[in-house]
Chain A
Amino acid sequence: MGEVNLTDVRKEYEDVVAVEGMDLTIEDGEFVTLVGPSGCGKSTTLETISGLTTPTSGTIEIAGRDVTTKPPKDRNIAMVFQNIALFPHMTVYENISFGLRLRNFDKEEIDRRVENAVEIVQLEGMLDRSPDELSGGQQQRVGIARAIVREPDVFLMDEPLANLDAKLRVAMRTEIQRLQKELGITSVYVTHDQEEAMTMSDRIAIINDGQLQQCSPPLECYNRPVNTFVAQFIGSPSMNLFDGQVAGDALDVGDFSVAYDTAGTPLVDGDRVTLGVRPEDIYLASDADDIAHPSTPVTVSVDVLEPVGDQTYAYLLAETDGETTELLMSLDPDKEINEDETVEVVFSRDDVHVFDGAGDAVVHSLVDPSAAADDVTIEGEA
């Protein structure tokens, strides 16, 4: 009943195209996060779902009804805003019951629902307060209560945690997840924080330059990014990307090369490629025995070390003929490694991604799928 369907949605502002060719289906009860850098069109997409913006073209369906040109009030949606947007001239009770009162629910029904919503978000006893007497977290809970009290088809959240402090944000994140599971309401959540997206969602829709890049479960986005943008956006720290080309039986990125037979892939000798390796998939050569398929070692010098506690980020430089390639690896803080030292590192060949000249993924592992047990498929298109 709460399914959301976007078909070829496009939104232009004067001469700027904010969203283009957006096809997205959100199943009933699903939690989908729209994520991307600022200005990528994720908020615009949400606004077209909410009806605060009418798309230039394309259709939007909510719960099986075409709502493309319907105003927000006729869509049976509820929204939680980044700036919380509680009505300052109303008490908590009036804020939460605003939508119900507009729809002329009778007093008893309103009281019952408000009571229930307040219990869910744990704000009992605050109904008579005005929003400015509440803390940031409490205000956002009121915002959430205002949304759930209407029992909407779809729950829209536009960076609801962005204005909260770091600790509260993590706590609220869990709370929103719990709530969503409990209520089972279809939810669309917008954030620029990939970590929030990874931890909360059933599926992540990664958007860049107004276009949907990939919409998959979090781990699939992480393990099988469809292009270099997704590869870099998901995961922290970002994936290392090395520009190079196919040179015979190897992928040559200048300062080092990785053996790979391109037979069976669309790549041919001389094609431009981009190699993607996550910092956590680079190992010291001395630990090569720990991984199934290590690559040939690459000699690098250690530039900078950044200990963050549970791991240490090492910025490495691979150097030949005066040219340098920068690599970032994350390693166990117990490893004895010093700045300016020269070390050898290997990549886990199972986890090296190859992207073609246009940045689209070709393979997500250099290990032959028939040799290895896992089923690596070839994804050509974004």
Chain B
Amino acid sequence: MSEQQYSGLTGRIVKYAIHNSTDVYRLGFWVGLVSFIMITLFPFYWLLVLAVTPDNQLYQMGIVPDNFNVGVFLTVVQEYPLHHYIFNSILIATITVIVCITLGSLAGYAFGRVDFPGKGPLLLLLLVISYFPGIAFLIPLFELLTGSLSILGTPTPDLYNTPWGMVFPFTMLSLPITIFILTTFYSQIPDGLEDAARVEGTTRLGALFRVIMPLSAPGVVTAAIIVFIGVYREFFFSFIMTDGSPENWAVLVYGILNFQQQHTQMYNMMAAASLIGIIPIAVLVILAQEHIVRGLTAGGLKE
């Protein structure tokens, strides 16, 4: 090898890279990391810039805001019922999580811990259904939930403008993933522990809620978070099932959309509302993260 081959700038760089591969790997790592952080965090930054830019300057907005109008965060809370929308969202998401975890636990127990004929096909069916887009159920669900259908002569209840009109489809859409997660976790709890609980005096259900579920805490928390976030950010059914007023259980996304009125579009307010709306989820994830770590380290099974 002669020095000749590495002449010129490119040649020198190549030579350096070959002889200092650690530096190249380190460079690659930082490039990757910085790009990832940019990609994930830039939208938040952009929202922030959008929120604090006064609305008459929005048309010439740049990467760095020219003017700061921090008052917008107060405006969205004080002059608009943002807190009411957020409350609705949290309540509906919480109810959905409770229903999903309860039903999902029963199903997860059956799929994970009981042998019964047709278990495989049933799980497969569940998987298939979970891939259906929610919109595919729109018309039948809307009819069902607005009292337009009658089953055996009884009209279905009109759930329009009630939280149940959203909880129902959300539960339906979130259950398959919940069942899958819980099935996996519940199946890993040793049979001996369930047997012990039953001999000590619980029913099968008692063993599920007193022993299997607490020991599957990481799985239960994970499933709950996934469902909660899924519902919290859901737009489609939230938009269909209410008229958009907070008294009628309109959720956060609908509330944000309400800033977009017929002639004006208050982008800065929408951005501010979005940022405030993120806070509950952020808090939840931070709290849950601790739970998940604790759950994972609890362990201590002897099998």
Stretch of B78-86, B161-169, B197-205 on the interface side: B197-205
Provide the bound-state CA to CA distance between A136 and B303, in Å.
12
Partner of A163, one of B199, B200, B203, B302: B302
* CB atoms of A73 and B195 under 8 A apart: no
Does A283 have its Cβ within 8 Å of any Cβ on chain B?
no
Say yes or no: B197 contacts A83, CB within 8 Å.
no
**Within A100-156, which residues are at the interface with B (CB < 8 Å)?**
102-103, 130-132, 136, 139, 146, 150, 156
Closest residue of chain B to A79, judged by CB?
B199
Contact of A99 among B201, B211, B299, B303 (CB under 8 A): B201
Residue pair A85, B190 in contact (C-beta under 8 Å)? yes
Instruction: Point out the residue from B200, B203, B298, B301 that lies within 8 Å of A98, measured CB to CB.
Output: B200
In angstroms, Cα B197 to Cα A85, docked, is: 9
> What's the minimum C-beta distance from B295 to chain A, rounded to whole angstroms?
9
Closest chain-B Cβ to A269's Cβ sits at a distance in Å of: 55
Given A88-B299, A88-B300, A88-B301, A73 contacting B192 (CB threshold 8 A):
no
Interface string of A153-180 (1 = CB under 8 A from B): 0001000000100000000000000000
Does B193 count as interface, using CB distance less than 8 angstroms? yes
B196 within 8 A of A: yes
Q: Are A85 and B203 touching (Cβ within 8 A)?
A: no
Q: How far is the CA of A102 from the CA of B215 in the complex (A)?
A: 18
A39–B286 CA distance with the chains assembled, in angstroms: 49
With A and B bound together, what is the CA distance between A85 and B299 in angstroms?
A: 13
Chain A nearest Cβ from B188, distance in angstroms: 13
Across-interface contacts of A87 in B (CB, < 8 A): 193, 196-197, 211, 215
Q: Quick check: B190 and A73 within 8 Å, CB to CB?
A: no
Q: In the complex, A83 Cα to B199 Cα: how many Å?
A: 15
Binary contact track A240-257/B, C-beta < 8 Å → 1, others 0: 000000000000000000
B214 CB within 8 Å of chain A:
yes
Contact with A along B245-276 (1 / 0, CB 8 A): 00000000000000000000000000000000
| Contact assessment for B193 and A73 in the assembled complex, using a CB-CB cutoff below 8 Å | no
Residues A88 and B298 in contact, CB atoms below 8 Å apart: yes
B301 — nearest CB in chain A belongs to which residue? A88
- Mark B163-201 against chain A: 1 for CB-CB distance below 8 A, else 0: 000000000000000000000000000101101111111
The verdict on A72 contacting chain B, using a C-beta distance below 8 Å, is: yes
**A89 sits at the interface (CB 8 A):** yes
Q: Given A83-B303, A85-B195, A89-B215: A73 and B201 within 8 A (CB)?
A: yes
- Complex contacts, B195 vs chain A, CB 8 Å: 50, 52, 72, 79, 81, 85
Say which residue of B198, B214, B298, B299 sits within 8 Å of A73 (CB atoms). B198
- The verdict on A82 contacting chain B, using a C-beta distance below 8 Å, is yes
Q: A residues within 8 A CB of B302?
A: 83-84, 86, 131, 136, 139, 163
B190 (CB) vs chain A CBs: closest residue: A83
A132 lies within 8 A of B299 (CB): yes
Decide: A78 and B202 in contact? CB cutoff 8 A: no
- Classify chain B's interface size: 20 to 34
Bound CA–CA A77/B198 (angstroms): 10
Bound CA span A102–B197, Å: 10
Among candidates B200, B202, B298, residue contacting A89 with C-beta atoms closer than 8 Å: B298
Q: Scoring B residues 201 to 239 as 1 if CB is less than 8 Å from chain A, else 0, what string do you get? A: 111001000010011000000000000000000000000
Bound together, the chains give a CA A71 to CA B200 distance in angstroms of 11
Q: Which A residues are in CB contact (< 8 Å) with B301?
A: 88
Q: Flag if B199 contacts A82 (CB, 8 Å).
A: no
Please report the C-alpha to C-alpha distance between residue A352 and residue B196 in the assembled complex, in whole angstroms: 46
B215 touches A81 (CB 8 A): no
- Nearest CB in chain A to that of B189: its residue: A88
Asked if residues A83 and B192 are in contact (CB atoms below 8 Å), the reply is: yes
Q: How far is the CA of A79 from the CA of B198 in the complex (A)?
A: 10
Let me know if B190 and A99 touch, CB within 8 A. Answer: no
Query: Which residues of B are found within 8 Å of A77, using beta-carbon distances?
Result: 199
Q: Please report the C-alpha to C-alpha distance between residue A77 and residue B195 in the assembled complex, in whole angstroms.
A: 12
Which residues of B are found within 8 Å of A130, using beta-carbon distances? 300
The answer to whether A78 and B199 touch across the interface, beta carbons within 8 angstroms, is yes
CB < 8 Å neighbour of A102 from B192, B201, B299: B201
Minimum CB–CB distance for A351 against chain B, Å: 42
Distance in angstroms between the alpha carbons of A156 and B198 in the assembled complex: 13
Task: Let me know if A81 and B201 touch, CB within 8 A.
Answer: no
Q: Which of B193, B196, B298 contacts A79 (CB 8 A)?
A: B196
Most chain A beta-carbon contacts within 10 A, residue among B193, B200, B303:
B200
Chain A contacts of B214 at CB under 8 A? 89
Rounded to whole angstroms, the CA-CA distance of A186 and B300 in the bound complex is 31
Measured between beta carbons, the chain B residues less than 8 angstroms from A71 are 198, 203
B201 contacts which chain A residues (CB < 8 A)?
73, 98-99, 102-103
Contacts of A150 in B (CB 8 A): 200
Kindly list chain B residues whose C-beta atoms are within 8 Å of the C-beta of A81: 192, 195-196
In the assembled complex, the CB of A86 is this many whole angstroms from the nearest CB of chain B, namely 8
Q: What is the distance, in angstroms, from A39's C-beta to the closest C-beta of chain B? A: 17
CB distance from B182 to the nearest CB of A (A): 17
Chain B residues near A163: list those with CB within 8 A.
302
A35-54 interface code vs B (CB 8 A; 1 in, 0 out): 00000000000000011100
Residues of B within 8 A of A (CB): 190, 192-193, 195-203, 206, 211, 214-215, 298-303
Would you mind naming 10 contact pairs between A and B with Cβ atoms under 8 Å apart? A50-B199, A51-B199, A52-B199, A73-B198, A73-B200, A83-B192, A89-B215, A99-B200, A102-B206, A146-B196
User: What 6 A-B pairs are tightest by C-beta distance, nearest first?
Assistant: A132-B300, A85-B192, A88-B300, A99-B200, A85-B196, A102-B201
Given A71-B198, A87-B196, A99-B201, output 4 extra A-B contacts at Cβ < 8 Å. Answer: A79-B199, A81-B195, A83-B302, A89-B215
